[in-house]
Structure 1
């Protein structure tokens, strides 16, 4: 069973959205996943593993990073499982638990 914890947070210095992906077991560590946000390109956070920033390009080719406060302007996310051979596994299921307003607890 693959299991991951995906967390959205604000980068301290910039307030850019940072998506962190942590595998919860050994089997999950062998399958890389990506979280895609429509209209944005992801890039790794320098010096960090499995943390990603998201940007789009303006007309001059400058990167415009997605701010944490703007993350829900388009709340859709696509989780991509790279290198997962579902024919080899022969069956699959998935579930998602969305935790919102966790910081209010």
Structure 2
């Protein structure tokens, strides 16, 4: 591997959010605030409670619980799948968009 030198591009920068910087031997992680996550899930369950069809509401509640577990486990592929299921049940609501944002996903 060749010697690389970065001059002035990232030095003293304040990088936030979902950064996708390419480099050798880099591991990136996204920290999710517990308060943000808790608020998003509270809003999600409030939206689900508005579903009038009992069977659809129960399925959405199950999917939301599974989504919460997937978020806690940082399982991006499962999060993406469950977001799709929930979007089909309740549409594109702010809470789903917030949860998707945690993983750099869009609805």
Calculate the TM-score normalised by the size of structure 1: 0.25
Calculate the TM-score normalised by the size of structure 2: 0.25
User: Which of the pair is proportionally richer in strand?
Assistant: 1
Structure whose alpha-carbon radius of gyration is higher: 2
